Every structure is written in C-alpha cells, then in structure tokens.
Amino acid sequence: MKQIYILYVGMNTGLDIWSKELSAYLVKLLSARCQLHLLGDLFSKQSYQQEKSYDLVIVQNSLCFIHYKEHLSRLSKSPVFFIAATNNLNGYIAPFKNLFGVLNMKDVELSAFGIPEEIQLRLNYPVEKVSNYYFYEQQPEFCRIVYCPTGNTIQESDLKLLTFLQKTNALLTIVSDEYQCLKKALPPFVTIVPRSSWLSIYKKAHLVVASGFDAIRAMALCKPCVILGDYGLGGIVTPANYDHLQSVSFRGRKGACFREMVPLDLLEVEIRKYFASDAEEASLEIQKKVMTDYGKSNFDKKVLEKTERIINLSVSIKSRSKRLLLKPCLSSLFAVEESNGKQYLMRGQGCFGEIDMEMVNLLKQCDGTLSVQGLAERNGYNKEEAGILWSNLYELWKEKLILFAL
C-alpha cells in the first residue's frame, strides 16, 4: 500500500484550549496511519523534514494562510482540509481552489463565506475517558465541587459561585491553567489545579460545575453537572433537558447573551438539586447519550473516511484518465437567476456572470448520478467537447458551485 504523506499546519494565535487539545488528538489519530509532518507553534514538536508535495494538507487556524503563505503556495496542488474549531474569525475560511473539505466542530455557519454544506464534516469533540465514578452523599461532611471556568466569566459568575459556596461546607477545586495567578487571592476552601489534572479531580467530585466540553467530559464519567458558562446558567443536566442544553453546546442558557448575568439565588437552587435525591440512574442515562453523540469511535471513523475521500478525489481530478469519470453535482450554494431575459450564475449575493441556456440545461443534469463522460455522451459531445465540458465544470468546482462525487 502506498505511504500517505500529510502535512498538518497550525498556529496557537486565537485558538481556545479545546482547539489545542483537538490538534493533539488528531496528531495521535493520523500518526498511527500515515506519515504525518507538523508545522507551526500549535505543536510542541515540529517536523524539520518537509516533503516537496503532500497527499493532504490539514490547516488549523486561518492565520496560517498568511504566516505560511510562501510555504503553502509551493503546495498549491495538494488538497487542503481546514479545521474550524472556534467561533472567532480564525475558525472561518473562504473557498479557494484546493479547499476540499472543512471539519466543522463549532456549528460555525460557513455557508455565508461560500463554503457549501456538502464539503463540511460536522462532528463533536471526541470523548476518550468513560467510566462510572458516580457516588452520592445526601449530607456529606465536605461537598467536593469541581469548577471549570471559561476565562470569560471571572468578574461575574465566578464571584457569585464563590459567594454562595463560602456559606456552605463545600471544598471547591478550580481546574484552570489561567487562574493559577489567583491562588493567593482566593479563600482557603478553594484549590486551583492545572487542566492536566482534570481526570483525577473529576473522579473525587460530588458535582461538577462547567460548560462546553468540560461538562461533556464530566457527564461521560457519570458526574452530575451544572452548566455555568459564557452564556449564563443552563442548570443541572437531566435526561429531560439534555437535548435542549446540547443545542447550545452546553455553554449556558438557550437564548442567552454572551456573559449573561447569573442570579445568585438561581445558581444556589441548581447546585442544591443534586443533594435532593440520588441521581445515579439519571447520570447513567445521560452518559449513554453523551457516548452516542461524542464517542471517539464515530469521530475516528468519519475523520479517516473524509481524509481518504479527499485524497482519492484529488488524485482523480489530477488524472486525465480519471477526471471524466467523476460525477458532477450542484452544490447547495448554486443558483441561477433570470433578469431581462438573461441567465446569471449566482452564489449567494455574488454573481459569476451570464451563462447561456445550453450550459443551464447541462447544469440541471448534474445530480451526482452521471459522470462527466456520461454527461458528454448524453448530449452528443465528441472527445474535444467533453474536454471543454470538463474545463467549464472544473472552473465552477474551484468556486464550489459544482462538487464532484467519486
């Protein structure tokens, strides 16, 4: 079997903690199956050896296209698989010639940027650690609560949590690398540990207060979890409200605004709910839901399938003998509008110029079931005309108005 060579390019700038942990996971996944080279400060160890060409280039952080512009321009014939894992601008990308796919992990709406839904692979972060560390004490001597702050809430929600817990018998452990500087400023019942300690700390907790993937990790370990994040208070997760909270990625309350104020009395009510009754059965039910949505086996399978498909599609597009066997289909962004008796090719609000009725009729036949060669034969085109048809479709493919199926 031919050795596959992949270049993974990433920069730290503007990436959140989960984007960085995702990169480590992908490096581990891909390294076991191909020759993987790393470029950029996202990686602790970079590859000094660089190939002249790669079967696939993975890019995480759109700033890479600026910082490594010269390097990536030399690899302009290699297909690019972009990773959109944050909601900031570094997680967005506009279409370009050799963009073959996007791993969309934050429900980022990329269609407005010209990225059709069909080339996006929508996945959640994979959960690796799964077990039952649930235990229940109605009146524990010390209630062990773990809190995972987002870094955006320290002035409001974090202070309200501390205010409430200071009046209880709670021992609070804050899991954060950014909050280490606050150790001396916090009361004695509070301990701050690095993120690398999350598993051992979660195991000992009665309750976890968190949001996003921190909360998902806790639920995978059968820990009762109160959602407190950048979008306010989501409350304690139950089998009944799991889908509702998941729709906002467990980041707070649905319909809330960024850094929403959290009423102290409501926060107290949600935390006390855990001690009202034994919730082991509910926690096990939630764990099953988490593993269905965030299990690593599904993530691994789909990422590997996507990379293999991109590589095979790139090979076919470059091959004169294979390209006419590809099956063209209109992307979800494709549109034709009529104005003053003329037909105009559109992508959103962007106009790509006038097209004649013959081309309009050809494009209507592009449904992914017929190859370029079959399309040419159906319309009575000779070999030279089939080549012209391919060229026209290829130009539309570069704009992601036409997609190709193998």
Residue 109 falls within a domain, yes or no?
yes
Q: Is 273 found in the same domain as 345?
A: no
Q: Is 31 found in the same domain as 82?
A: yes
Q: Is 188 found in the same domain as 120?
A: no
Residue 68: domain span = 5-124+295-315
Q: Token pair of 50, please?
A: 């660089």
Give dist(CA 38, CA 22) in Å, integer. Answer: 14
| pLDDT, position 159 | 82
Give dist(CA 108, CA 253) in Å, integer. Answer: 19
Residue type for position 312: N
Mean pLDDT (whole number) for 282-305: 95
Give dist(CA 82, CA 115) in Å, integer. Answer: 11
Residues 47/69, Cβ–Cβ less than 8 Å:
no
| pLDDT, position 154 | 54
Task: Give residue 152's pLDDT band: very low, low, confident or very high (50, 70, 90).
Answer: low
Angle in degrees, 0-180, between the axes of helices 157-165 and 264-272, rounded to the nearest 10: 60
Q: Is 370 found in the same domain as 235?
A: no
Residue 372 falls within a domain, yes or no?
yes
Mean pLDDT (whole number) for 201-207: 95
Q: Is 395 found in the same domain as 367?
A: yes
- Is the pLDDT reported for residue 17 higher than 70? yes
Q: Is 185 found in the same domain as 287?
A: yes
* 3-state SS record for 379-391: CCCCHHHHHHHHH
Mean pLDDT (whole number) for 298-324: 96
Pick from 315, 349, 373: which residue ends a domain?
A: 315
Residue 57 falls within a domain, yes or no?
yes
Cα-flanking dihedrals φ and ψ of residue 293, to 5°?
-90, -30
Task: Give residue 402's pLDDT band: very low, low, confident or very high (50, 70, 90).
Answer: very high
- Is the pLDDT reported for residue 312 higher than 60? yes
Residue 320 falls within a domain, yes or no?
no
Model confidence over 59-107: pLDDT tens digits?
A: 999 999 999 999 999 999 999 999 998 878 888 888 999 999 999 987 6
The CATH number linked to 194 is 3.40.50.2000
225 three-state secondary structure: strand
- 122-126, 270-274, 304-308: range with highest mean pLDDT: 304-308
Q: Is 148 found in the same domain as 119?
A: no
**Range with the poorest average pLDDT among 76-80, 154-158, 228-232, 391-395:** 154-158
pTM: 0.86
| pLDDT, position 187 | 87
Question: How many domains does the chain contain in total?
Answer: 3
| pLDDT, position 221 | 97
Q: Is 235 found in the same domain as 182?
A: yes
Residue 130 falls within a domain, yes or no?
no
Residue 135 falls within a domain, yes or no?
no
Q: Is 210 found in the same domain as 102?
A: no
The CATH number linked to 48 is 3.40.50.2300
Mean pLDDT (whole number) for 6-18: 91
Q: Is 267 found in the same domain as 215?
A: yes
| pLDDT, position 184 | 82
Q: Is 330 found in the same domain as 193?
A: no
Residue 133 falls within a domain, yes or no?
no
| pLDDT, position 111 | 86
Residue 405 falls within a domain, yes or no?
no
Q: Is 373 found in the same domain as 277?
A: no
Task: Give residue 14's pLDDT band: very low, low, confident or very high (50, 70, 90).
Answer: confident
The CATH number linked to 375 is 3.90.930
Query: Regarding beta strands 342-347 and 35-39, do their DSSP bridges make them parallel or antiparallel, or are they unpaired?
Result: unpaired
Q: Token pair of 232, please?
A: 């306010």
| pLDDT, position 70 | 93
How high does pLDDT run on average in the chain?
A: 91
| pLDDT, position 209 | 95
Residue type for position 36: L
- Is the pLDDT reported for residue 255 higher than 90? no
Mean pLDDT (whole number) for 243-249: 92
